[in-house]
Structure 1
Amino acid sequence: MTAAPIVVEQVVQARLYVTTHRTAVLRVALRYRSDDPLAVRMAFPAEFSLDGTPLPEAPPEVEWVFARWLLAAGLDAPSGMGDVHLRPAASGRTMLELRSAEGVALLQFDGAQLRHFLAETLLAVPEGDEALLLDADRALAELLG
């Protein structure tokens, strides 16, 4: 019998830049699980499209998954690969850019809140210990469907 995974979850506010003159404040759920130790998840409310118009039949949230190391790196220097880019900004803020076929979303977070979340994940699984918790059979099964 295996132990239950450690789950870290924190809800933070983010500012979504809808246009250069219009922003929206969102509640974003940050999630981490010790049974998926390399990844962090950000769940965004899906009730608005990238242009800020309501979506009538949207799912409750849209989740983006990316590497925990990317979050750590992006708090101190511009970092990013593929669809997810992070960079520090003025006044202790952190900018997150998400790219998809539908467009680009630019969000601003309080860097201290992201650092707190990252610190909690590192208490759950210290950096360098991720490989000890990886379940290769499960990951392969998920990959092959």
Structure 2
Amino acid sequence: MSQVIEHTVQAQLITRPPATRSLAATLRYDGADPLAVHIVFPSDISLDGDEVAWTFSRDLLDAGLRGPAGEGDVHVWPCGLERTVIELHAGEGVAVLEFRCADLWGFLRCAYDAVPAGSERTHLDLDETLEALLRNV
């Protein structure tokens, strides 16, 4: 059985600099999907009133805490010594959020304790993944 880690953290949604809005976000890591992390935002901030979840690479979050990282829809970079910015691109627009570095590092530490870096492949159930993909075809 895989371990699921969830941390609720505070973030600042940058709406129009320098305006911000505080919100709670949930960081989620599931050892059954060892290469990914998830950020779940509450329904009250979405355009359609539904909870919003973003999924991207655990390595991207790790790299973005050290320096600018990301291509495509998700970009992560340090903002001073205590903050990290995560920028999310969607068809509806761009969301720019600031998180405390300590919160993101704490979450990553727990994720790496659950599935150490380099051992992700041993936690992947490739047969189940392939079966799930074929069911959706």
TM over 0.5: yes
TM-score by length of 1: 0.88
Runs of 4+ in structure 1 off by over 4 angstroms are none
Task: Find the aligned partners of 1:6 and 1:135 in 2 and give their Cα distance.
Answer: 14
2:107 corresponding residue in structure 1: 117
Equivalent of 1:127 in 97, 105, 117:
117
Partner of 1:118, secondary structure, is: helix
Deviations 1:61-105 (A, max 9, x none): 100000000000000000002100000011410000000000000
Instruction: State the secondary structure of the residue aligned to 1:138.
Output: helix
**Structure 1: which 5+ residue stretches go unaligned?**
50-54
Equivalent-residue separation in structure 2 for 1:43 and 1:31 (angstroms): 8
User: SS of the residue aligned with 2:70?
Assistant: strand
2:37 is equivalent to residue 46 of structure 1: no
1:58 aligns with 2:55: no
Q: CA RMSD in A?
A: 1.3
Residue 69 of structure 2: aligned partner: 79
Match of 1:35 in 2: 32
- Paired positions, count: 135
State the AA in 2 paired with 1:134.
L
> Which sections of structure 2, spanning at least 5 residues, go unmatched?
none
The residue type equivalent to 1:25 in the other structure is: S
Q: Deviations over 1:82-137 (max 9, x none)?
A: 10000001141000000000000000000011000000000000000000011112
SS at match of 1:81: coil
Of 133, 139, 142, which aligns to 2:132? Answer: 142
